A and B are shown apart, each in its own frame.
Chain A
Amino acid sequence: MTYPAERIRNFAIIAHVDHGKSTLADRMLQVTKLTDDRTMRAQYLDRMDIERERGITIKAQAVRMPYPAVDGQEYLLNLIDTPGHVDFSYEVSRAMNACEGAVLLVDAAQGMEAQTIANLYVAIEAGLEVIPVLNKIDLPAARPEQIAEEIAALLGGDPTDILKVSAKTGAGVVAVLERIVERVPPPVGDADAPARGLIFDSVYDAYRGVITYMRVVDGRFVHGMDVRLMATGFHNEISELAVISPEPMPIDALGPGEVGYFTAAIKEVDHARVGDTVTDHGNPAAHPLPGYREPTPMVFSGLYPVDSDDFPDLREALERLRLNDASFTFEPETSVALGFGFRCGFLGLLHMEIISERLDREFDIPLVTTAPNVAYEVHLEPRMVAPNQPPVLAVSNPADLPPPNRIDHILEPVVEAMLLCPSTYVGAVMQLCEQRRGDLRKMEYITEERVELHYELPLAEIIFDFFDKLKSSTRGYASLDYEPAGLRRGDLVKVDILLNADPVDAFSTIVHRDKSYEYGRAMVGRLRELIPRQMFDVPIQAAIGSKIIARETVKARRKDVIAKCYGGDVTRKRKLLERQKEGKKRMKSVGTVEIPQEAFVAALSVGGGD
């Protein structure tokens, strides 16, 4: 049955990892009788294995809960789950846009974290009604009064008005549902306008095609309707229209404010992108809903099969992954050192890790992954630009950076980072941000003890180990969130690594000039340890353009011959030689230098770090 809009409430839960979002959601399902104790499985909403293992939500889901409220009416509550990591902040904002309200759930023992506050700002920007809730009040360590003060300081309002619950015991959960009914505004939409729905998630399913989650804004979507995805132009008939409650339940129609999913024989999620607008192909809306953005990869890395014979398999695996993750990109590239591979673009480092892990887990292809880097905008020296050549280059592989004399200047992506920490650690946090070329933009005491810092930081400076460093220098008390904030001019140089005077493209890196010597020395030193001795001396150099900034030598091996009495056992000696020959095949050759695959992996795995 379709509900009238005034009895629909769409809401999200904003919470930091482990603050109890899944437990609260499960509890709501129980209260609304959608699950009983027997069928309730822990963390109903989180689905992917990787999410479960890492305790984060990557993909949003939605669940529909009919709720008989104290006022005697039955309301339809739609809980729209949001991803919980900065890499997926765009997905977060789309999911928020599908709601009118948000529950801000805060662990009463832990207090607020930067990510929570960042998501809270997204919710406020999207105009949502925010309902603060303190969780885990059953814990002895809970400090509800103090944390309520902090929340009130941020949101305004009366701290005593903040709900206090225990998702674990269920205490206070009904009050949360009541408050949602009472405070979250019902959706407004034009039931008679051409149908429009906002896609807030799309999930690949091998059997049914892409499952597209949407929030209806205007009009009605009915089973069998020919729907069009406005950004991609793809259209097809709806073959399945359903809601999740909490198992999928077919439905004939969805009206304004309602949330559900459809399938329409869509082969890849790229056709039904998060943020896109669905409309009626026969009677299309004039304009899509605002806010759609193409997914833009922020972090890049080269993925190469260890065994070059695996290249076609890697391509197939990447294509398969892309079917259900439209936010990562790949393009074939070649490396002198590593052979054929792909330059892949990711939303962030976590996203990159997730993709590599899935490649490993689901496809079992041993890979060499080059150090992650960001994309640069390179403005060429006007005198060096040929007439039909573009004056600006986008460089996502450091090896592609032109020589210094051809470059006028380089822009690098920066982020607006929000850091939240106890006031005792402000010094440590600032020191770290300064080291990473940060610009302090704002500093605010939320309360006496908690400080909110805003820095503009080069993205390249935070994709390596910034988070680890932040945690270790604040004993885990600081938290971080960031969002892209455009491009900034940087004094950047490319450091090349040369083996025996041949540049090894896979080791080229773009760094700030002030850090180039340090980087060069570290990389050259590491390679000297990793590269086995050869028949000849192998000079290892770090260079900026033609200028050598660091140098080491792997001394030539002086003896390898087995100088021992072998008697007549020639077979053994030959077998040894044959084994060495096999081993040699697994080496990557750079000019005349032979490098074992493991040395490459080891050198790259720490690439860019300190």
Chain B
Amino acid sequence: MGPGLYLHIPFCQHHCGYCNFAVMTGADDAFRTRYIAALKMDLSAVAAGGPRAVAPPGADVAPEWPTFTSVFVGGGTPTLLAPSDLAGLLRHAREALPVADDAEVTSEANPDGLTADGLSALVDAGLTRLSIGAQSFAPGVLSFLDRRHDREAPLRAVAAARAAGVAQVSLDLIYGAPAETARDWAASLRTALAARPDHVSAYALTLEANTPYAARVRGGAQAAPDDDVAAERMAVAGEVLGAAGLERYETSNWARPGARCRHNLTYWGGGDYLGVGAGAHGHWQGRRWWSTRPPARYADAALAGGSTTAGSEILDDATRRVERLMLGLRLVGGVDRAAVDPVDETALRDLVSAGLLDEDPDRLVLTAAGRPLADGVTLRLLPG
């Protein structure tokens, strides 16, 4: 699997309470245009610098870019851009970097305002995959989550995507909101499945600091999610999605055979990817870096031809093993011991005997019982 390219579009119509991604609301057309120009310029500059400029200094890296096998446009809400602008961006990526003909090209999308025509323009520009944020099909949950679309919107979006010829459609769902009942969740899953998605991401509502939701929880206006409830919902998701022929391949991700998200697998497998855009993260051969997060500052820096990098780190071997363990355990196939050893052997024995890890001398693989406890398992396996 080759490297991936991530492009960040920070614009949103409205800021959902739970969300702490690098987003902005209220951008006008002029700023959007400016931002896209900046993003393209930055991408060209990164591309021109070659892989040695993003790898750790002195690393043994070929001077030419390898072929990219995935592009992911995330947000924010990329589909808030005019289809022609987004299509232009996809084309620009192919001009700047060697992107494989059969690359997976994803865009995130909000359910509202998607049309078959607009999406066709994106398919013409190479889009192969659309990831739609449905979140829930229960009105009470949507309103708790502070979502502004109605429960039918995601279904219309899927239909538009199919009509436009998007090869793969994915739906994002969020479970565990305090307003959600067990029946709500089961119904949401069934409704999502009725749309025949190729892929489903089911996330547990996570209370993130510095979000409107966190402020409401502190003020007592909304309840925090409960881990026991989330565990139950996660189990139900596993059963219902599995029964519908979707295979789980990561803690929160299910796909029909052949429809796993290549781009995300690159993240979880410790692979290389470029991240371009406000607050975007990249990784190349053991160096991680991230861009300036405020969109206006990012755009200014990029257009001035300056550095858009806000920070970076070089991972030593031990840290790379920690990351491989942390990410690899989340994959249903687990992780090769050779990539993560040494681990705490006593903890490993305890975890195996408690039925949280499979008994396998060569790989670390969570059992079904261990899956929702991946973070604690990781913590205990860490050496020292």
The answer to whether B234 and A563 touch across the interface, beta carbons within 8 angstroms, is yes
Residue B326 at the chain A interface, CB threshold 8 Å: yes
Stretch at the interface among A310-318, A461-469, A573-581: A573-581
A573 touches B326 (CB 8 A): yes
**Contact A560 B281, beta carbon cutoff 8 Å:** no
Q: Which of A38-46, A157-165, A337-345, A564-572 contacts B (4 or more CB under 8 A)?
A: A564-572
Contact A563 B204 (CB under 8 A): yes
Partner of B372, one of A559, A571, A581, A592: A559
Hey, what's the 0/1 contact readout for A535-572 against B, CB within 8 Å counting as 1? 11000000000000000000001111111111111110
The proximity string for A residues 187-223 relative to B, scoring 1 for CB distances below 8 Å and 0 otherwise, is 0000000000000000000000000000000000000
Cβ-based interface call for B203 (8 A)? yes
Instruction: Tell me if B356 counts as interface (CB < 8 A to partner A).
Output: yes
- Pick from A536, A557, A564, A584: contact of B227, CB below 8 A: A557
Query: What would 8 A/B residue contacts be, using CB atoms closer than 8 Å?
Result: A535-B376, A560-B227, A560-B372, A563-B203, A563-B230, A564-B204, A564-B206, A571-B290
Compute how far the CA of A506 lies from the CA of B206 in the bound complex, rounded to whole angstroms.
Answer: 37
- Give Cα A48–Cα B356 distance, bound, in whole angstroms: 59
CA distance A561 to B329 in the complex (A): 11
B128 at the interface (CB under 8 A from A): no
Q: Do the beta carbons of A559 and B234 come within 8 Å of each other? A: yes
Q: Nearest Cβ distance between residue A247 and chain B, in whole angstroms?
A: 59
Instruction: Please pick, from A558, A570, A581, the residue contacting B382 in the complex, using a CB distance under 8 A.
Output: A581
CB closest chain-B residue, reference A577: B326
List chain A positions with a Cβ less than 8 A from chain B: 535-536, 557-571, 573-574, 577-578, 580-581, 584, 592
B9 close to A (CB within 8 Å): no
B322 touches A561 (CB 8 A): no
Give the interface size class of chain B.
Answer: 35 or more
Q: Are A574 and B326 in contact (CB under 8 A)?
A: yes
* C-alpha spacing A558/B288, complex, angstroms: 32
The reply to whether B379 and A564 form a contact with Cβ atoms under 8 Å apart is no
Taking a contact as CB atoms under 8 Å apart, the answer to whether B275 and A536 are in contact is no
Which single member of B232, B290, B351 contacts A569 (CB below 8 Å)?
B290
Q: Does B380 have its Cβ within 8 Å of any Cβ on chain A?
A: yes
Also in contact, A565 and B203, with CB within 8 A (given A559-B227, A559-B228, A560-B375): yes
How would residues 312 to 337 of chain B score, 1 for a CB under 8 Å from any chain A CB and 0 otherwise?
Answer: 01000001001100110010000000
Contact of B267 among A557, A563, A570 (CB under 8 A): A570
Say whether A535 contacts B322, CB under 8 Å.
no
Chain B residues whose C-beta falls within 8 Å of the C-beta of A569 in the assembled complex? 281, 290
Quick one: closest B residue to A569, CB to CB? Answer: B281
Does residue B354 face the partner (Cβ distance < 8 Å to A)?
yes
B61-97 contacts to A, CB under 8 A, are 74
Assess the A571–B375 pair: CB atoms within 8 A: no
A560, B225: Cα distance in complex, Å: 12
> Complex Cα distance A313/B230, Å?
46
Smallest CB separation, B27 vs chain A (Å):
20
A559-B231, A563-B234 known; A574 vs B282 contact (CB < 8 Å): no
Q: From residue B72, how far is it (CB to closest CB) to chain A in Å?
A: 9
A542 CA / B298 CA spacing, docked (Å): 61
Min Cβ gap A570→B in Å is 6
Residues of A within 8 A of B356 (CB): 535
Q: Does B181 contact A (CB under 8 A)?
A: no
Contacts of A536 in B (CB 8 A): 354
A573 and B374 CA atoms in complex are apart in Å by 13
Question: Is the pair A570, B281 in contact by a Cβ cutoff of 8 Å?
Answer: yes
Which among B234, B283, B379 is the interface contact of A570 at CB below 8 angstroms? Answer: B283
Residues of chain B within 8 A of A578, CB atoms compared:
322
User: Of the candidates B251, B290, B350, which one forms a contact with A561 in the assembled complex, judged by CB atoms under 8 Å apart?
Assistant: B251
Q: Please indicate the chain A residues that have their CB under 8 angstroms from the CB of B330 in the complex.
A: 561
A557-B376, A558-B231, A563-B204 are known contacts. Are A571 and B252 too (CB-CB below 8 A)?
no
- Residues of A near B254 (CB, < 8 A) are none
For the complex, is B188 an interface residue (Cβ under 8 Å from A)?
A: no
Interface residue ranges of B235-291 to A (CB < 8 Å): 251-252, 267, 273, 275, 280-283, 288, 290
Given contacts A535-B356, A571-B281, contact A577 B322 (CB under 8 A): yes
Contact status A567-B267, CB under 8 Å = yes
A562 B375 Cβ-Cβ under 8 A? yes
The answer for the CA separation of A512 and B377 in the assembled complex, in Å, is: 43
* Min CB gap A566→B, angstroms: 8
* Chain A residues within 8 Å of B251, by CB: 561, 563
| CB-based contact B227/A565 at 8 Å | no
Structural contact, A574 and B323, CB atoms closer than 8 A: yes
Contact of A571 among B288, B374, B378 (CB under 8 A): B288
Inter-chain contact B375/A561, CB cutoff 8 Å: yes
CA distance A584 to B372 in the complex (A): 19
- Bound state CA distance, A173 and B230, in angstroms? 78
List chain A residues, Cβ under 8 A from B378: 577
A560 to B366, alpha carbons, bound, how many Å? 14
A480–B117 Cα distance when bound, in Å, is: 91
Residues of B close to A568: CB separation below 8 A:
6, 267, 273, 275, 280-283
CB distance from A576 to the nearest CB of B (A): 9
| Nearest A residue (CB) for B21 | A567
Contact A564 B234, beta carbon cutoff 8 Å: no
- B125 CB to nearest A CB, Å: 22
Hey, which chain A residues are within 8 Å of B350, CB to CB? Answer: 592
B373 within 8 A of A: yes
